[in-house]
Amino acid sequence: MTARSVVLVGPMGSGKSTVGRALAEAIGATFIDTDAEIERRCGKTIPEIFATDGETEFRRVEATVVADVLAGGGVVSLGGGAVMTEAVRAAVSGHDVVYLQISAAAGFARVAGSDRPLLADADPAARYAELLARREPTYRAVATVVVDADRDPATVVEDVRVGLRDGREPRSKNH
């Protein structure tokens, strides 16, 4: 039996890692950021993986990592584009999936100047808006809870807790 997880989805800059850490602490669960786990397993940063192996290989590795970490339960933060992969959408099915919704302007303001491979563009703000517009229907489709993420993390965490189906807060196998 696979443990039940709380899975955080949304665009880069929506606060998945920050909210995920705080949520895990609040409910006594483990926290895993899949991007950090990918980097650990590959021994390279995400930008390095994109540069040396390409996005297709990154998405393949990402799908494997997501399936692996979801089996352990707890709170799991996915990369912004993870749910665009069919295998990841299948893996999150049956878990509590929280879409941290944020506007393109607010999300981009949080990531401006960072090393994000998918924002390597002449107009990174427009690229961010384009990615969000394309991904937003998928975020909504996989979500069991939608929370406004353009607020302080403590408020977002509380809204996630309130929004979880039937009041259940999944815990990791170790808790």
Residue 21 in marked binding region: no
Task: Answer whether residue 40 shows pLDDT above 70.
Answer: yes
* Residue 16 labelled as part of a binding site: yes
**Does residue 135 have a known ligand-binding role?**
yes
126-157 tens-digit pLDDT: 888 999 999 999 999 999 999 999 999 999 99
pLDDT score at 121: 73
**Strand, coil or helix: 93:** coil
Domain ranges of the chain: 5-161
**Topology of the domain comprising 5-161:** Rossmann fold (3.40.50)
Calculate the alpha carbon distances from 97 to 49, 77, 108, 111, 145 in Å.
26, 10, 23, 23, 6
List, for residues 26-36, the tens digit of each pLDDT value.
Answer: 999 999 999 99
4 marked among binding-site residues:
no
User: 94: annotated binding-site residue?
Assistant: no
15 is in an annotated binding site: yes
